[in-house]
Amino acid sequence: MGPARPGNGWTAHPPVPEGPPMHVIQLLENDHREVDELFRRVHLSEKPETIDELTKQIVHDLSVHAAVEEQFVYPLLRAKVDGGSAMADEAIEEHQQAKRLLADLEKLDAGSADHAKAMESLIETIRHHVEEEESDVFPELRDAVDASTLDRMGDLVEQAKKVVPTHPHPLVPGTATAQLVAGPWAATVDKVRDLLGGR
């Protein structure tokens, strides 16, 4: 896809250093940094096989990230933040747009012009989403939710990442994980409901 161009609107950030367990916002911000790095590597890559491997990792990481946000973070946002429902609805719509692009990328030949175009659209979509989350959503959650709840939610998100969808499901309405609220996944979802006071 050629080297990244200065001033393309995507600002690279270093990954959050590894250390003690992170609360949920730190965990999600770290996800943002890791995907940012994958985007940078795609821009620097010219070999189709390298672009293909990076695309697979991007699809996996963003699918997992979207699933845990929809099942954990957005219910918390709705429950604890004034105006949180509208913020969550907007974020889910942005997720749907990203999932459609991810689904397209899975079908396109790496290194093709169509793949490059879809990747650039994805980067633009994710960049906008990350900016809104980190400037608006996450500060609201930090102000409205106590640190112990954020810590426990971080633990639950870490557990959930092992079982949530790893591919996009753009045709599933609402959230991509609605069909998974059964079996072992249900226990994790129930813990979230407990944190929200049984909502």
Q: What distance lies between CA 170 and its chain's CA centroid?
A: 14
pTM of the prediction?
0.78
Examine residue 19 and state whether it is found in any structural domain, yes or no: no
Examine residue 70 and state whether it is found in any structural domain, yes or no: yes
CB 4 within 8 A of CB 10: yes
Examine residue 152 and state whether it is found in any structural domain, yes or no: yes
Task: Determine the structural domain holding residue 75 and report its residue range.
Answer: 24-193
Strand boundaries in 12-162, DSSP class E: none
Examine residue 168 and state whether it is found in any structural domain, yes or no: yes
pLDDT of residue 173: 53
**98 burial level (CB within 10 Å; 0-12, 13-18, 19+):** buried
Examine residue 14 and state whether it is found in any structural domain, yes or no: no
Contacts of 144-152 with CB under 8 Å at 24 or more apart are 144/80, 144/81, 145/76, 145/80, 147/23, 149/76, 149/195, 150/23, 150/24, 150/25, 151/21, 151/23, 151/24, 152/195
How many separate domains does the chain show? 1
Rounded Cα–Cα distance for residues 151 and 141 (Å): 12
pLDDT digits (tens, 9 = 90+) for 119-165: 999 999 999 999 999 999 999 999 999 999 999 999 999 988 988 88
pLDDT of residue 181: 44
Examine residue 10 and state whether it is found in any structural domain, yes or no: no
Considering the chain, what percentage of its residues have pLDDT values greater than 90? 66
pLDDT digits (tens, 9 = 90+) for 15-61: 444 445 579 999 999 999 999 999 999 999 999 999 999 999 999 99
- Is 8's pLDDT higher than 70? no
pLDDT digits (tens, 9 = 90+) for 102-132: 999 999 999 899 999 999 999 999 999 999 9
Examine residue 7 and state whether it is found in any structural domain, yes or no: no
Examine residue 16 and state whether it is found in any structural domain, yes or no: no
pLDDT digits (tens, 9 = 90+) for 78-106: 999 999 999 999 999 999 999 999 999 99
